[in-house]
Structure 1
Amino acid sequence: MSVIKVALLGFGTVGEGVYRTIQSHQKELKAVLGKNVEVVAVLIKNKEKKRDINSGVLITTDFEDIIELPHLDVVIEAITEKEPSFTYLKRALIKGYHIVTANKEMFSSHGRELIELAAKQKVSVGFEATVAGGVPIIQTLQQLLKVNNVYEIQGILNGTSNFILTEMREKKQSFFEALKLAQQNGYAEANPSNDINGFDAYFKLMVLSEIAFGEQPEQKYVKINGITDITSEQIEMAEKLGLHFKHIASIERKEDRLYASVIPTLVSKSHPFYHVEGVENAVHVKTDLVGGITLQGPGAGMFPTASAMIEDLVQVFQRHSTLGNSLKNKSIIKKEAKDQDISYWIVSNLRNHFSLSVITYYDQLSENVFLIKAKKSQLLQLCEQNDALISYPILGNYELKSEHEKEALQLLID
């Protein structure tokens, strides 16, 4: 019987989820692929650790044992950091194997190189799992880009930070209490730095940038702020104003430049992100034809990411004849839509010499706190000119109704 042979790199939370899903969904996989799928090898770090892996599967700490396997079809990578992941996957492509990866840090830096190499070798790359767990945003963007021009992407791309902010609001917990619970539930690593400081979301945003715009902004021009300074008091005050704190990654094109950020944001009830809670992820895409669409789903945990990788496994074989993986070419980017959103931002630490001429509206709430109404690109220019600037945008429709609300907004940032 014809079999698709898989080597699995890594057997942590995601790797084990992939293995267990392949074992439990053989009937479904055979129905769509016409073949059984068999994990023939697993690369691990520690041979002493007990794992529930069938006998007959090669379990090794040496990648050379994997790469030299005869008749291998696909390498599924579920390890972390840029290296040795990139080297392993590059060698797999050179050998003529399809690859599937969940490694957003590596892929944000080397995705284009891997896809171009795969095209030369006439194999495919699956990378849906690099962004937003079980939310199929990459395939959606690739379909939209056939006709639609995407001009802005906003996302809740990290389930850990969203879980923490939800727990702080709903259960009145401190940041550290909510983080500890996230770790106990397996949503946060022992070292959660990338999640809570915004870099995990940044890596994912750069993958989306390549797909939608064919390039990435330099990291030094991307404003990245974590959620560690948000207090329970701020969250409570925001809720009284009908706002929720969310950690939002966003990118938009204005003229010949990309503006990107990963920052704590206030979201009003009118915005689709307002009700995205716990470990859920969501992505809102704005285009010139279909308008705005939102995808939402689980973004953390064993099976959401494993689900994306298994779907990629199917896709790499179904699209193999057409070599359907692609990142957009910079040369064919269309200009952004003319009517960009203007929204409120609360800002403090403006330099005295700064000119407010680019701002549509501003109101001085206190000596150091301003309520500003402007386009995102304008405010990110402010941030570039003033590293000390503290800012919270408000997503969705929001209008101040009283002086009391102005005072409450001031307290969110003072």
Structure 2
Amino acid sequence: MSVITVGLLGFGTVGKGVYETINKHQERLQAITGKEVKVTAILVKNIEKHALPEKEVLLTDDFQKIIDLPKLDVVIDAIVGKEPGYTYMRQAILRGCHVITANKEMFAHHGSELKTLAKKHNVSLGFEATVGGGIPIIQTLKRLLNANKVERIEGILNGTSNFILTSMREERLSFEAALKIAQEKGYAEADPENDIEGYDAFYKAVVLSELVFGKGPDWGRSTRLGITDITSEQIDIASSLGLRFKHVASLEWNKDAVRCEVKPVLVGESHPLYRVEGVQNAVSIDADIVGNISLQGPGAGMFPTASAIVEDLIHLDANDFPDVFEEGKAKGEEAVMPVWALLGDTHSLELPNGFEFLGCSSDNAVIVKASEAAISSIACQKLTAYQILGDYQFSEAQAGQVQPV
């Protein structure tokens, strides 16, 4: 039986998960691919910190020794950071190797270039593991794009921030207390900035944008807001209105560009992301033919991420990307005025022109329709505005009868 030889870059949590999955499921992989799949080399930073998995496996801290191997079919990138991952992937493609990456930051910056290079050299580039961990969002979108045009994507793409918001609501904790628990459980790093400030979700949104729309968003015009300013009091107010805080990445085609936002929002019970709790990730897709579909599952971890990588491994079809999105062909719809919850001391709130009052809850929440520009104009009134996604209707118990001043 012929062999698919694999060079594995990185032997941390993800790398070990990939190695173990390939070894444990060898019979299934052989049945699918018709070949033995074998990791023949592993790249690490510090050889002394790692035990050699098998005697015949090359364990090295020198990538050149891997790229120079006489036989090398696939290179799997399980390291982090823009470099040296980008350089390694480029070298592997130039050699004629199929490549698979879980490196979301690197791929957000260089994915478009690497796809073009892979097509030129007739090799496959797998990146399922860059978004959503064990959720097969990339493969789903590749197939969906054969007939459908995706109009909008909303997703909870970071399990750490979702766990913190869930814990704050369910356990009535402060942000700091919920973050500490996330760190103790291993869901958050010692330096959690990448997760709680939205960088991780933004990188994943860029990857989805390039796949769906054929281009990434303008990074300078995109919105990226974290969850550090959300208080337990705000979460209680939202709950009284039947709303939940979620840290959501949104993508949609807007005229001739991609609109990308990563920010805390409020969702009601009818929204697909309402019941996505803890470290779960989820993606809600609106397309012109199929309508709305949602995918939910574990967003990170050793084996969910390894699952995504191995799925790419068994789909080594060269140039397996949809054609570039045809700009301007998205379904046109009239702009819908966003709905907002204004949280804070609303007792003496004065709403200027451009606001449609929808209801209020005592003196700490007012629900309005308004443009983003109008919302910005009342920032000086010491209120925090959170957009409400999806359809939201007041119940009689929630809707106040008194208009603000």
Using the size of structure 1 for normalisation, the TM-score is 0.87
1:345 and 2:340 correspond:
yes
Paired residue for 1:324? 320
In structure 1, how many angstroms separate the alpha carbons of the residues matched to 2:205 and 2:264?
A: 15
Paired residue for 1:372? 368
SS in 1 for 2:47: coil
Paired residue for 2:32? 32
In structure 2, how many angstroms separate the alpha carbons of the residues matched to 1:211 and 1:244?
A: 29
Q: Deviations over 1:152-209 (max 9, x none)?
A: 1000000111111112222222222222222232222222111000010000001111
Question: Contact 1:80–1:103 (CA<8 Å) still a contact in 2?
Answer: yes
RMSD: 2.8
Q: Deviations over 1:48-79 (max 9, x none)?
A: 21346222211111111111111100000011
SS in 2 for 1:393: strand
In structure 2, how many angstroms separate the alpha carbons of the residues matched to 1:348 and 1:185?
A: 31
Question: Contact 2:169–2:235 (CA<8 Å) still a contact in 1?
Answer: yes
The letter for the 1-side match of 2:393 is E
In structure 2, how many angstroms separate the alpha carbons of the residues matched to 1:243 and 1:368?
A: 14
1:392 and 2:386 correspond:
yes
- Aligned pair in 2 of structure 1 residues 256, 356: CA closer, same or farther (>3 Å)? farther
SS in 1 for 2:266: strand
Paired residue for 1:291? 291
Paired residue for 1:130? 130
Question: Contact 2:212–2:325 (CA<8 Å) still a contact in 1?
Answer: no
- Aligned pair in 2 of structure 1 residues 98, 128: CA closer, same or farther (>3 Å)? same
Q: Deviations over 1:12-63 (max 9, x none)?
A: 1111111111111101111100111111111111222134622221111111
Higher fraction of helix: 1
SS in 1 for 2:91: helix
In structure 1, how many angstroms separate the alpha carbons of the residues matched to 2:353 and 2:91?
A: 53
- Aligned pair in 2 of structure 1 residues 94, 348: CA closer, same or farther (>3 Å)? same
- Aligned pair in 2 of structure 1 residues 39, 387: CA closer, same or farther (>3 Å)? farther
Question: Contact 1:9–1:43 (CA<8 Å) still a contact in 2?
Answer: yes
Question: Contact 1:223–1:383 (CA<8 Å) still a contact in 2?
Answer: no
1:22 and 2:22 correspond:
yes
SS in 2 for 1:315: coil
In structure 2, how many angstroms separate the alpha carbons of the residues matched to 1:384 and 1:394?
A: 16
Structure 2 counterparts to residues 7-86 of structure 1, below 5 A = 7-51=7-51, 53-86=53-86
Shift of 1:325: 2.6
Paired residue for 1:193? 193
Shift of 1:257: 3.1
In structure 2, how many angstroms separate the alpha carbons of the residues matched to 1:370 and 1:10?
A: 50
Structure 2 counterparts to residues 148-297 of structure 1, below 5 A = 148-297=148-297
1:2 and 2:2 correspond:
yes
In structure 2, how many angstroms separate the alpha carbons of the residues matched to 1:113 and 1:303?
A: 28
SS in 1 for 2:162: helix
Shift of 1:382: 5.7
- Aligned pair in 2 of structure 1 residues 373, 62: CA closer, same or farther (>3 Å)? same
Question: Contact 1:9–1:79 (CA<8 Å) still a contact in 2?
Answer: yes
In structure 1, how many angstroms separate the alpha carbons of the residues matched to 2:122 and 2:200?
A: 31
- Aligned pair in 2 of structure 1 residues 288, 44: CA closer, same or farther (>3 Å)? same
In structure 1, how many angstroms separate the alpha carbons of the residues matched to 2:37 and 2:366?
A: 59
The letter for the 1-side match of 2:394 is L
- Aligned pair in 2 of structure 1 residues 403, 276: CA closer, same or farther (>3 Å)? closer
Gaps of 5+ in 2: 345-350
183-192 vs 157-166, which deviates more? Answer: 183-192
- Aligned pair in 2 of structure 1 residues 27, 383: CA closer, same or farther (>3 Å)? farther
Between the two proteins, what is the percent identity of the paired residues?
51
Using the size of structure 2 for normalisation, the TM-score is 0.89
Gaps of 5+ in 1: none
Question: Contact 2:359–2:400 (CA<8 Å) still a contact in 1?
Answer: no
1:334 and 2:325 correspond:
no
Shift of 1:265: 1.1
- Aligned pair in 2 of structure 1 residues 343, 387: CA closer, same or farther (>3 Å)? closer
| Total equivalences in the alignment | 394
- Aligned pair in 2 of structure 1 residues 265, 77: CA closer, same or farther (>3 Å)? same
Q: Deviations over 1:105-136 (max 9, x none)?
A: 11111111111111111111000111111111
In structure 1, how many angstroms separate the alpha carbons of the residues matched to 2:367 and 2:168?
A: 25
